[in-house]
Every structure is written in C-alpha cells, then in structure tokens.
Chains A and B, each alone.
Chain A
Amino acid sequence: MYTFDYQRPSSASAAASAFQGDTRYLAGGQSLVQAMKLRLSSSERLVDLGGVAELKGICMEGSNVVIGAMTTHAAVAASADVKKAVPALADLAGGIGDQMVRNMGTIGGSIANADPAACYPAGIVGLGATINTNQRTIAGDSFFTGLYETALKPGELIVSVSFPSVAKAAYIKYKQPASRFALVGVFVAQTSAGVRVAVTGAAGSVFRCKPIEDALAKSFTPEAAKAVKVSADGLNSDLHGSAAYRAAMISVMASRAVAAALAR
C-alpha cells in the first residue's frame, strides 16, 4: 500500500480534529485495509478509531437500541439488548462475512463504506434507523446515496446508530457463492410506520422495493411477496447473476424474510 501518516486518538473529538485534508478514518479495517493493500485506496492520513472507547458499546434509549459506531458485528450478534429489541438485526450481524470478519468489522465502518452488497444498509433502511454523527442525525432513508457514497460530509464522524424496536422483521440473503456477499439481500420489517422492504446487493446502492411494500401492506404473507414481479431495470448484472435473476430473487428472498418474520 501507499504510505500514510498514522494517528491513534483516544477520544471522538480528538479523532475529528485529527481529520485534516486528505484523511480517512480506520474502523475495523475489513474493507479499508483490503482496499489499501490492493492500492485501490490511499490517503495522506489515516485516523485509527480503534482506541476510541466511547464509540464502542450497545445500550437502550427508551425503546431504541443504540449501537456505538465501533461496535463489532460479533458484539451486535451476541447482544442481549439487540436480540430482545430487534432480533432480525442480531441475525443480520451474525451473518456478515465470516467469524473473523465479524470479530473486527464494525457497523460504523460498514455503513460509511456503503458497499452495494453489504448487509447493514438493508438493516438500516429496512428498520428506518437513524445515524448519529458528531454533527447531526441522518435518517437511514437519506444516508446511502450511491455506489460507495453516503450523505456524510468530509470528516464527519459516525458516533452511533439508533434502531427502533421491531419484533416482526427478518433479513434473508442469497449469497454470491464466491465473495459470500449478498447477491440479493432483503430486509423486511413490520414497523410502527408500516411495512419496509429494503434490498441490498441487487443495485448500486440499497433501495426500498415499493411494489413489495405495497403488496405486503395489503397482505403480510410470503405468497404476497413472492407474487410481485420486480423490474430488472437498473439492477446489477455480472457473472454471478443477471439483472433478471436478481429481480426474481428479490421476490423470493422477500417472501422468505416474511416467513421468517412471521415465525418470530
């Protein structure tokens, strides 16, 4: 990788101050270190958040579960609070990557990276979560703006993510067999504000599938989801699945997610 200046602050405010010019935050490194090794990513400065204890941890705020940005996927999957408040999120976290990735990868790092096939974006949009940064709060629906693009401003630091308690929800993904990322991953939730269906892996960024949301609003059943013919327009097409295949899998995964949600 290319050379960089390295900083390891011990507080969030010190981290934000250390972000000067061409800088990147380092969270778990499961995406960033890889990109740097392949010389696909470089910056003059790297600010390592691994020593910022205040960014780790999970707690309840009312009926919301608040997950610190530097909390690992393994910790989310094992958290009693998450399993109680929104078990579908614990399942999602427990299925990210492999166990080694889950022991290092963090929610903040994952969503800041905004990989089009990552799982967390589907959870955030599927649950209507809120991203809390050191500057403001950003609604989950507005956070992911494009391929590896988010609404974050340069230097803006994610502090935590707040999720509402939702009982009837589930995330089912069909794994791309080589990378094991989501070829199509669908998060279905019956929230207090209605049904949400969030799809990752199928397009350049996570999106809500309105036709399936409408069908499920009428009848929250696996059959209703499966019957929806999702358009292949704008969906990804590659060696592992054409756009048409992905479109079909969206309905299939959605119906399986509905079945899993109903079984809770």
Chain B
Amino acid sequence: MTDMSNSPIGKPLQRREDYRFLTGAGQYTDDVVLPGQTFGYFLRSPHAHARIKSIDTSKAAKAAGVVQIFTGADLAEAKVGGLPCGWLIHSKDGSPMKEPPHPVLAQGKVRHVGDQVALIVAETALQAKDAAELIEVDYEELPAVIEITTADKSASAVHDDVPNNVCYDWGHGNKDAVDAAFKQAAKVSTLEFVNNRLIPNAMEPRAANAQYTKHDDSYTLYVANQNPHVERLLMSAFVLGLPESKVRVIAPDVGGGFGSKIFLYAEETALVWASKRVNRPIKWTAERSESFLTDAHGRDHHTKVELAMDAKGNFLAMRVDTIANMGAYLSTFASSVPTILYATLLAGQYKTPAIYCNVKAVFTTTAPVDAYRGAGRPEATYVVERIVEQAARDMKMDPAALRRQNFITEFPYATPVGLTYDIGNYAAHLDKAIQLADVAGFPARKAASAAKGKLRGLGYSCYIEACGLAPSNIAGALGARAGLFEAGEVRVHPTGTVTVFTGSHSHGQGHETTFAQVVAAKLGIPVASVEIVHGDTGRVPFGMGTYGSRSLSVGGTAIVKAVDKIIAKGKKIAAHLLEATDTDIEFDNGEFKVKGTDKKVPFGSVALTAYVPHNYPLDKLEPGLNENAFYDPTNFTYPSGTYVCEVEVDPDTGKTRVERFTAVDDFGNIVNPMIVSGQVHGGLAQGLGQAMLEACVYDPESGQLLTGTYMDYTMPRADDLPNFTVDHTVTPCTHNPLGVKGCGEAGAIGSPPAFMNALTDALGVKDLAMPATAERVWRAAHKNA
C-alpha cells in the first residue's frame, strides 16, 4: 500500500509561486513592454444612451505622437464581427433569446457610460490620452434605462430591435406542481429583495498588449485573462475571422479575476485587429475608473420568493420570480448566470419536492453583467437561505432544527430543478458549525452586548452549490455553445523531472503548487521535480480555463488521467527492463515492481530509458514518455457547507461588526488545506463585502455611475473583517479520481445570507437591503426602538 504519511496530498505546502510575487519578479500584463511599443487609449461615451451622429478625428490625428485612430466605422468596413455570447437561452414561448449585436467599437449608438467609441494609438500613453480630448463626437442623447423592474415598460429601447428591452423570459421547474402544493400549504413565507449589483475589482486592472508579426502573418496577445484558449477561440473564430493557429494568447501572471477576466472584451479584440494595421505592438492598461465602467459587473437581481410548508414545517414547494440585469450588451456567459447557474440550485440542501422559477432578463444602459465569483449560485443561495430563515421565524422554530428536518439525507438525490447531487452529509457540517460557533453560548453573549447598549444577532446559511463545470452534453442541452471539458499534458523529461501543461489558469489559486502535489503524489517523485505550465496557448494544447471552481476537479482530473497513461506506458517499459510481462508490473511510491518479488526499477530510470531506448521494446512501443488527456466530467460537483455568522450592532451609529464567522465546508478531499482555507477566506470577504459594504449605483435619471472609484465603492479593508473560523467535513466526490469538489467560490456563495440572517435577527426586522450600510441599520434600529 502507498505510504500516505509521506504523500504531499493533504499537506499545507508553501507555494512555489510566492517567491517571485514577494520579490517583485511577477510578470503581469502591464509589465510587458515590446520592441516598437505603441500605446492605446479608448475614447469612451460620457452618456448612458445616445446616438452617434458624427465622429471627427481630424484634429486628434494631427496631435503629437499619434500613430492612428480607429472607430466603429473602420471595423465595420473591415467586416469585424461582434462579441459573442456563449449560452443560448430560450424563453418560455420557445423563442430564442434576443442577441442584439455587441460591436467592438460603438456603431451608431452608445449604450452605457464608458462604451468605447474610438481607439487612439500613439507613441506614449499620455499622447494617446491627450489626443482623445481632441476627438469631436456629436451625440444625440437618449433617455437612460436603469431600473430593472421597469425596463420592460420603458419607452426607451436600449437596442432598436428589442423594443421591450427583454432578452428572454425563461421558466424552469414544475409550475403546476408548485401551484397545487401552495393551495395545500398550511403556511407560506414570502420575501422580496434585491441581490445588489457588484463590481468585481480584481486588484490588477484589465490590460492587453497585442503584437502582429508580419513574417508569418501571426498575432501574439498578452492579456489579463482566466482562459487563454477560450479567448483565442472566440476572438479568432467569431470576431476577427483569423485562423486560431495564427493567434497566440498569453495570460501571464494575472492579478485576480473572480470571473471578470473570463470574458472576451472589446479592448483586446480591437488591439489585436489594430496591431496589424499599424504594424507595431499596441499596449493598453485600464485606469481603475475605466475598470469600474467597463469590467463586467455581477449579480443585480430583483426577486420575490415564496415557500410553502405543511403544519410541521416540511417544505412543500418554492416559487421564485426574478428579474435579472444583462446590462447594455450580452457578455460571454451572461445569459447562463441567472438561469442555468441559478435556478438549478433552488432546492438547496432540502427535499422540497416542487420548485418553479421564472427569470426575465432585461437590457439596461449600464455595463454588461456577467459571472462574478459564484455566478448565479450566490443569488440562489441568498433566495433559499433567507426564505428558510424567514420560515423558521414564521413557524417559531429553531432555524437549525427547521433546516435539519428538511435536509436531503439519501444520495444520489435528483432535485426537482435538474441536478443530481452525488453525495453529501449536511447534518455533519451543521453539527460541526454549531459546535465551533458556540451557538450554545450565544444567549450569554447577546446579554453582554445588551448590557453595553449593543444589539447582537446570529444567523445561519446552509449552502450547496454546483461547480466543477461541466458535463459538456448537459451543458449543451442547457444552451451552452461550447464544451466544458479540460485538458492536460504530462511531459516526462529524460532526467525524470516532469512538466505539466494544464488548460486551467492560476490567478491566485496556487495551481503551480497544488497540481504539482497531485502529480508528485501519483508518480512518487518530489514535488520540486514537477513544473506546472499554464496560461499560454503556444505551449498548452488546450483548455477551457479557470472559473466555476473547476480547476482541480476537471483540470486536475485531466492531469490525473494523463499521468495514468504515463504510468501505463511506464509499466510496459519497466516490464521490458525487468524481463516480466506487463500485467506483472505494479507501480507504487515511485517504483515499478514485479508483483511478489523485490525486482524493481525507479521512475527516473524508466524515464531515461524512454528517451535513450537502447534496452527497449521498439518493435511494440514508441520511445518517449509524454501523454495528454481530455476529461469531460460526468456530473457537476456539489460542495456544501454550513456558515454561522454573529454580528454586533451599535444602534447609535448603525455600525455593524462581524464578531464571529464560522465556516464549515465539505469540499470532498483536500489537496492543500492552507490554500483551500485561503480560498474560503477570500470568498467570505467578498460575500461579506456584498452584504455589508459594496454597492454599484447608477443614477436612475442620467445613467451616470455614481460609485465610480474607491472613494464611493466600498471595498472591504482589513479592519472591516474579523478572523474567520474555518473547518471542513469530507464526503469525497464520487465521480472524479481525486474525490475533490472545488472550493474557490463557496465563501462568496454562502456568506451573504448568513450575515443578513444575523443582522435581521439582531435588529428584529424582517428584511434589510444589502449592503447593510450604517444608515440603513441605524434607521431600522430606530424604527424598532
């Protein structure tokens, strides 16, 4: 048996990527400067909605240092396509969603403040910016469309061919069963709330540097992106009409993504196209205020939810009605986020037999809205965990007891919203969380707070999510226009070290360390002997990238399958070296051994032999030791957990402090517990940021972004957050060899309802809008006083 105590799996190994980050030797896209570099600047619309009557670039073209200026007309003349959306959703009436054109540079109209109108290329960034001020654009302003609840009744159409601003009107689940169940219900709980719009704000602003190479008519694009192969495919095949083989996309070190760097954006597309026209590399880095206006935003739902129960509190049915914001244009994943990634999670951890969800998606004159950490699952979890907490209050039952009573306990479990949970044990993490959070001690802590004039509350969130995107055939049936497999190539070198080329991308997740742990464990070689390469379509065969907490479960499994092929071939080589038959060879702890004997040969010798094939079965086996694998998962994975939040409110100011936050997650097996806990911490910070601090606000009249800098958009700082108590339970995933479920998004998914449940408990109110700003809390506290 393998000696697991020495295995790197499960060890909190320090990260190999840290040395370069800590010493300033990381290479982020803005760090790249190419010979002959020019700089790009985008002129952007100051209006939320306007027709472009004319653009005069003549003065700007003569400005110092200007190389060339491009507008939408130039791209239209060159027949450049629009940016595509990757998920086709159908409305209830069977009609396909509306897909208005998404031009790279505005054509005819601008549809949100910040919509790009022209690209100025100049010798320096400053010269490009100065020249932009000389461009004269004649706008005819149109009314903005901002409110999502009234967008479908607005007289103003964001897109001329979508007069009612409705992208789709989609339904999921069994409406008749739900209606029947509600008629029988002993008790119905209801809530109506907004899932507040957020701006991802990765600390590295988006950036790109595009270079055309004349001698082979090819392009190289450096871009801060989470999925270089997807970026290349969308840009070359769907927009620019270039052969993929002529475009190399390199996503070097990337400073955070959280979804915002998945999508194909106008900026890098325009740069690639323009780089051939000016025949020099063009570099662009977003200013932060530019990022605020143009990075895809997240969330932005208005939802009404009803939960029907019998007299004992068993859930009978749930009905959900949501309006979701698409923004001005459909971004790459946008249509899937409030549908496939949302409604399918409305069972939560519960046995609710009948569920129906209606989602109307609307266009507004705001930045496009797309996936942001959790992508649909935070929205779903907020719906389920707020209504379940409300149900407990309405039934006057303990919120943990009501949940426990309704837990799914038998697996696999096919939910009424289309997913089959393979495995789980929800009571286990509920019990552990209750103990770690010292729920029993809460009444005493509450009394102590009251003695100081403060309010104290406690709230639960029992979340489940579906990640490890995704089985391609299921995704396709649900409207995906792509496959969601992953690819990995394992190259063993003659000296016995290994390079792994993975289609996953690390922008903070530590794959250079964790993937090396996985490979080293399987091959029985030191972790330091394994190098992980990612982020370059010129070196990595293929990949669908990193999002949806899929890297280890899907990317890691592809690598494991490639390693399995390596071991299988290695056994054949070893059999030859050991003069045995293939089937007599076993591989364990880095050694190939003849079963039942002590005849063995180490991995390193087999590697060398593969490349110096003198004592080698050349008649039956090719030399070399290099394998790749593509892996398409058979199901989503289903991390779940229990979060308990405890808050203290100062009623004099409304300031709320998170006093304790306990997170117990079931991520299946864990490869590196330190990195996993780090992912949870980061997710919790973003979820608590949503609940307490962050709000993206557009002026309802003018459509101007009122929260356009860190002066007004409240980012969580260290003193806004407590230490977190993080622990785990384990039910290994049943359908991948590592037994892993993914952990990158759970924190952001489970925490907002835990916080709001705790806050409404402290205040004794039914509901409060997110973010729970001090004034909102103060008003609620005083209304009750």
Residues of A within 8 Å of B773, CB to CB, are 177, 240
* B95 part of interface (Cβ distance < 8 Å): no
Residue A241 at the chain B interface, CB threshold 8 Å: yes
Contact of A178 among B653, B710, B775, B779 (CB under 8 A): B710
A174 to B712, CA, bound (A): 15
- A178 proximity list for chain B (CB < 8 A): 693, 707, 710-715
Q: Check A10 for interface membership: any CB of B closer than 8 A.
A: no
How many whole Å from B388's CB to the nearest CB in chain A? 30
Which chain B residues border A245 with CB–CB below 8 Å?
A: 774-775, 778-779
Bound: A56/B671 CA distance, A: 56
Given A178-B714, A239-B697, check contact A252 B652 (CB 8 Å): yes
Q: Which residues 234-251 of A have a CB within 8 angstroms of B?
A: 239-242, 245, 248-249
Residue B237, interface by CB 8 Å: no
The reply on A179 being an interface residue by CB < 8 A is yes
Q: Which residues of chain A (211-264) have a CB below 8 Å from chain B?
A: 239-242, 245, 248-249, 252
Q: How far is the CA of A155 from the CA of B707 in the complex (A)?
A: 35
Shortest 8 CB-CB contacts between residues of A and residues of B? A178-B714, A179-B711, A245-B775, A177-B714, A252-B652, A178-B712, A241-B775, A178-B711
Show 23 A/B contacts (Cβ-Cβ < 8 Å), sorted by A.
A174-B653, A174-B655, A174-B774, A177-B693, A177-B714, A177-B773, A178-B707, A178-B710, A178-B711, A179-B710, A180-B717, A239-B697, A239-B712, A240-B712, A240-B773, A240-B775, A241-B774, A241-B775, A242-B775, A245-B778, A245-B779, A248-B778, A252-B653
Q: Do B720 and A177 touch across chains, with their CB atoms under 8 A apart?
A: yes
Considering only residues 701-716 of chain B, those with a C-beta below 8 Å from chain A are: 706-707, 710-715
B107 to chain A, nearest CB (A): 28
**A42 CB to nearest chain B CB (Å):** 13
Closest residue of chain A to B715 (Cβ to Cβ) is: A178
- A84–B258 Cα distance when bound, in Å, is 49
Give the distance in Å from the alpha carbon of A90 to the alpha carbon of B653 in the complex: 25
A249–B655 CA distance with the chains assembled, in angstroms? 11
Residue tally, chain A, CB below 8 Å to B? 13
Which residue of chain A has the shortest Cβ distance to B776 in the bound complex?
A: A245
The B interface is mostly helix, strand or loop, or mixed, namely loop
- Is B695 located at the chain interface by the 8 A CB criterion? yes
What's the Cα separation between A241 and B779 when bound, in Å? 11
Task: With both chains docked as a complex, state the minimum distance between the C-beta of A83 and any C-beta of chain B, in angstroms.
Answer: 24
- Give the complex CA separation of A179 and B713 in angstroms: 8
**CB-contacts of B664-695 with A (<8 A):** 693, 695
**B764-785, CB under 8 A of A: which get 1 and which 0?**
0000000001110011000000
What is the number of residues of chain B that contact chain A, defined by CB distance less than 8 Å?
21
Chain B residues with Cβ under 8 A from A249's Cβ?
A: 653
Number of A-B contacts (CB under 8 A): 39
Q: Using A178-B693, A178-B712 as known contacts, list a sample of 13 further A-B pairs with CB atoms less than 8 Å apart, ordered by residue number in A.
A: A174-B655, A174-B774, A178-B707, A178-B710, A178-B711, A178-B714, A239-B712, A240-B775, A241-B775, A245-B774, A245-B775, A249-B653, A252-B652
Which residues from A are CB-within-8-Å of B652?
A: 252
- In Å, the complex CA distance between A174 and B650 comes to 12
Chain A: minimal CB distance from B718 (Å):
11
A36–chain B nearest beta-carbon distance, Å = 13
Against A, the Cβ 8 Å flags (1 = close, 0 = not) of B709-749 are 01111110100100000000000000000000000000000
Residues of A within 8 A of B717 (CB): 180
> Are the C-beta atoms of B778 and A239 separated by less than 8 Å?
no
| A178-B712, A178-B715, A179-B712 known; A239-B653 Cβ under 8 A | no
1/0 per position for B633-667, CB-CB distance to A under 8 A? 00000000000000000001101000000000000
Q: Mark each residue of chain A from 160 to 190: 1 if its CB lies under 8 Å from any CB of chain B, else 0.
A: 0000000000000010011110000000000
Knowing A177-B693, A178-B711 are in contact, say whether A239-B774 is a contact too (CB < 8 A): no
Q: Tell me, rounded to whole Å, the shortest Cβ–Cβ distance linking B717 to chain A.
A: 8
Given contacts A174-B653, A177-B693, A178-B715, contact A239 B720 (CB under 8 A): no
Closest to B129 in A: A39
Residues of A within 8 A of B715 (CB): 178
A239 touches B695 (CB 8 A): yes
Query: What's the nearest-Cβ distance from chain B to residue A196, in Å?
Result: 23
A249 to B654, CA, bound (A): 10
In the bound complex, what is the Cα–Cα distance between A239 and B699 (angstroms)?
Answer: 11
Question: What's the minimum C-beta distance from A224 to chain B, rounded to whole angstroms?
Answer: 15
Residues of B within 8 A of A252 (CB): 652-653
Q: Which residues of A sit under 8 angstroms from B775, Cβ to Cβ?
A: 240-242, 245
Provide the residues of chain A in CB contact with B707, threshold 8 Å: 178, 239
Contacts A239-B706, A249-B653; is A177 near B711 (CB within 8 Å)? no
Q: Which residues of chain B have C-beta atoms less than 8 A from A239's C-beta?
A: 695, 697, 706-707, 712
* Complex: A208 Cα to B652 Cα, angstroms: 22
Contact with A along B494-534 (1 / 0, CB 8 A): 00000000000000000000000000000000000000000
User: Min CB distance, A203 to chain B, in Å?
Assistant: 17
8 Å CB contacts to A: which residues of B162-212? none
**B711 to A, closest residue via Cβ:** A179
**Nearest neighbor of A245 in chain B, beta-carbon distance:** B775
Chain A residues within 8 Å of B710, by CB: 178-179
> Which residues of chain A are near B697, meaning CB under 8 Å?
239
Q: Which residues of A contact B712 (CB under 8 A)?
A: 178-179, 239-240
Pick from B714, B715, B775 the residue with the most CB of A within 10 Å: B775
Contacts of B714 in A (CB 8 A): 177-178
Contacts of B655 in A (CB 8 A): 174
User: In whole Å, how far is B722's beta carbon from the nearest beta carbon of chain A?
Assistant: 16
* B126 nearest CB neighbor, chain A only: A1
Which partner residue on chain A sits nearest B775 by CB separation?
A: A245
Rounded to whole Å, the gap between the CB of A80 and the closest CB of chain B is 28
B650 to chain A: closest residue by CB: A252
**Distance to closest chain B CB from A229 (angstroms):** 13
B706 to chain A: which residues have CB within 8 Å?
239
Q: What's the minimum C-beta distance from B316 to chain A, rounded to whole angstroms? A: 41
A1–B515 alpha-carbon span in the complex (Å): 45
Q: How far is the CA of A248 from the CA of B774 in the complex (A)?
A: 12
- Find chain A residues with CB under 8 A from B653 CB: 174, 249, 252
> Hey, which chain A residues are within 8 Å of B713, CB to CB?
178
Bound-state Cα–Cα, A106 to B367, Å: 39
